[in-house]
Amino acid sequence: MTAVGRMGFRVLPAGPRLPAGTIARFNRLASASVADAMGRFNFMDPGIRARTRQRAAGPALTVVCRPGDNLMVHKALALASPGDVVVVTTGGNVTSAVFGELMCESAVAARLAALVVDGAVRDVEAIAAKGFAVFSRSVCPGGCDKDGPGEINVPVACGGVVVKPGDVVVGDGDGLAVVPYEQADTVLRAVDELLAREERRVAEIRGGQVFRPDVDELLRRKGVIE
C-alpha cells in the first residue's frame, strides 16, 4: 500500500518482519525472562493486563487512535498479517473500548496473534472463549466513534514503552515485554544464557544448596551482617 494522508491521519507501510523461526522462539519464552535479558527494561507497566489468559508473541503493527475513536483499529485489523500483534494507544482514554467481540471475530479469522491496548476493551468473556490474546489497561462497556483521525505503523508509546512497527511483543500472564527488531537475536542469546543459569541454580537447590551463598557475601560487603 502506498503511504498517503498527512501526519496525524495516515497509514504507513508495515515494519520489517523477523523470520518465522525467530518469532517461534520468542513464543516459547516468558515475558519476565525477555525483560531480564534486556537489563530489566522494555516491559510495559502493570496497568496493561492480560484479559483472556492467553499468551502470544509476534511482530507489532502499531496504531494511534484519537480518544474515543477506533476507526484506525478497524483498518489495522484488515492490514495485519497472520501472527501480528496489533498495538494500540488511545491518548489516555480508558472508558471507550476500541475492541470487542465482533472485531475479535475478524482478528481470529485473520489469524492475528494478539491485541494490546493502552486503553479499554470489552466483551472479554466472549473474546476469551475464542482463545484470542488481549491485553489492555481497562475493561469498560463504553463504545467508540469511527471518525478518525489516527495513524498506523508509526512508533507509539504503550504501557510506558516505545513500540515500533516490526518490534517483537511477548505477552503472558505477567505482562508484556517489547524487543526492538534490530536487537532480537541479541536478546535471544541473552535469554539462553539466563535460562542456563537458572537451570544450574535449580540443580543446586535440588542438590541441597537451598539458599544462595552470595546473598550473605553481599550483605557482609554492605555492612549489614558480620
Cβ(168)–Cβ(181) under 8 Å? yes
**Residue 120 pLDDT exceeds 60:** yes
Q: Determine the average pLDDT of the residues in 184-206.
A: 96
> What grid cell was written down for 110?
485473520
Report domain extents, the chain: 4-179, 189-221
Q: Which pTM value belongs to this model?
A: 0.94
Quick: pLDDT tens for 130-139.
999 999 999 9
**The domain 4-179 is classified under which CATH number: 3.40.50.2300, 3.40.228.10, 3.30.70.141, 3.50.30.40?**
3.50.30.40
Using pLDDT thresholds of 50, 70 and 90, give the confidence band for residue 213: confident
Cβ(112)–Cβ(80) under 8 Å? yes
Quick: pLDDT tens for 40-62.
999 999 999 999 999 999 999 99
Give Cβ neighbours of residue 39 (< 8 Å, ≥ 6 apart).
none
Measured CA to CA in angstroms, residue 110 lies from 12, 50, 81 at distances of 20, 21, 7
**Residue 154 pLDDT exceeds 70:** yes
One-letter amino acid at 158 equals C
Residue 205 to residue 1: CA distance in whole angstroms:
55
Q: How many CB atoms lie within 10 A of CB 184?
A: 20
